[in-house]
Structure 1
């Protein structure tokens, strides 16, 4: 009967169950941190029971397979899957299976069900591994108390939303009979951001503000369209952000919706583009042309204030404006600004007028030192410079005996100087004038003390210079040269001589002194000696000598002159 072998194999089930059951009981509860990690070797753990299940086919081979599978998979569940260990712990708490002998039919059923119902302790971790991701968390939470989550810090209260400041420099860029174009600059302070700008307008004599743009515009320019010609509009611009609306930036004056034919323009002369300098008492007559249609409105200001009609006159025409001052004063200096305006369009030009006059005297002057024939002076700049820069100083001296003032330093730029070459025994006073572009000041600063040039201890010894001896014996710097002349043609002999005292020059022919012969002309100018022979003949040839003689000595040079006759070849052939 085949049932007998099955009964003999029943003890194979008891040995692994007794050895593995007490093993997982003493292990401590797993820590919560590794309990969350899923076991890496879970799938192989399921393979062991799957191979061990068909016990009816080969029960003897199933047991070794079941024992090898937990051995290979035991390490990963022990390291990384504490929930897999918790499953054997629950299995250990259950009562072990009975060891009493069973009937043959019951033994066969128990042998088939034993590998599936009561696996060994080593194999208990393997079936539990697939359920580790779900059951492991539950068993870890049951084994250890749940850790308290750290509380998040309390967030600070949100900052309040702040609106921006008002837009700047709201002005009109263009206007015609149906629209108005305005522009502006961003606000100085940006609160909680900037979403855009809203432009609103209100017709004159009404209080209803109408929004020109349905949505806030990020640009700094907007065209207000579909306006009626002749409307007088008040316009303002508001910024919008999460904090709300800002204060409005409005136009200074209302705008008339109409076509401007010619915008106003000031044609400032080139002379007035730079600083205009005038002297006190002079006349100022400035003619400044402009253009614009309709006729612009002209206005003048001085340093931001209206002009005083008592001291200056303004005359305006359709094409120019005249600023006239009969006699200018220092108070007329400043920045004059002319403005021409047509509706909301405006053009401006600035003119700087500087009225200058003579400077005042230096604030103080003193004698710094006196030695020998010299005096050192020091002074300070004048308090009144004449409304222009100081260009220099003039220093004068006066002798106490005569009282006459003489200039010793002029156009002097420093604030200290030295006066020299004073007369011994005299007493001097000094004064200093300031100078600017207009000229020298009328008043001067005078020294309170006097400088006395003492005689004691001063002895002047003139230097003894040896006079140079310029005496020199005659010496020819350019000698005579031999020459050839033609009969009937005048010729000259030239040489140069120097010496001191001035030497006397004589000419000789063949060692004979040439006297007052009209045939010869002798010239001696600045040491250049010339002998002119007029229309020489064949008998005028020979040796000519020039001799120079003074009290120191004498010198002579000579040359040979050859006079040739011109021969006519045609006459010789006839003969």
Structure 2
């Protein structure tokens, strides 16, 4: 530009309102003889140099400015690429972004699995030179796949790297069996847990019983099965089925109660003991839960005491009567109850005394007359009444 003024004006070049310096690649020349001021930029850059160039003249008598628009033409250049992979959760919005330099401003065409995407889903942020694609309420069927964008202006075109979008789905756990959360079964009955588990990514599925992991009987596709052909008491407990992936987790519980009917495998039987000996009454009962045994003597409840000892070892239940005496004779009853079933057993305790000769008449003291009747007698005592057997010459 030609300049004039006295004293000679100070020349300042500005780009977008800021002074240009050699740092911006600007070269400034001033020929005082010809009054020519010259600004040179050897290698213009679209981002650094495009805009309004101002030449400002200053001396003590005034200021004058002239401006010119510097438009730099460039083919599209992607400065921030699409991410190679993106993940989102089904139902959420996703925005894909790419930053592009180019002049005139490039036009963008987005593609989904090589099919053009309508322009109403796209936008442009002029301040950031950012092209955006908005995907609303994403789903696997509608949105999972590969995205790319082609940018084009009069000087050329470029294409972004492809972006693979994965749409994750929350875990869905559907318990099919049992239909109730609490199951009551008798020993020997079948038991089964069936559940369908879906989700994306594939959920991790775990089954625990009372906090300890147990293995599934079978897993086919989404169906998870745990089965017991015949339940036993050790199968009782709280079963928890848990499924989780990156997006969510779900769980369900089943409480299994196992019962066994009362089964008396060894009943109470009448017991005979001698005076002063120990008498024991016992029975064997299989049941689950384990039964409680209450002992009665002639319908009076019995407790542990020095005289009476009540014991339970595994499935054997025992009542011990120490130093049996005649008052201990009577009917003993065991009431058996496990909260599910109940029954009773009875038996008698007999306390006996050894047979004893009270008044002896030795046979060699007996005399008789041939042809006359004679009587030989002894007196015995004992409880129960002794059984007497007569012998002649040992026979």
* TM-score, normalized by the shorter chain, greater than 0.5: no
Higher strand share goes to which structure? Answer: 2
**Higher Rg of the two aligned structures:** 1
Higher helix share goes to which structure? Answer: 1
Higher relative contact order (CA 8 A, sep 6+): 2
Instruction: Specify the TM-score bucket, using the shorter chain as the normaliser.
Output: 0.3 to 0.5
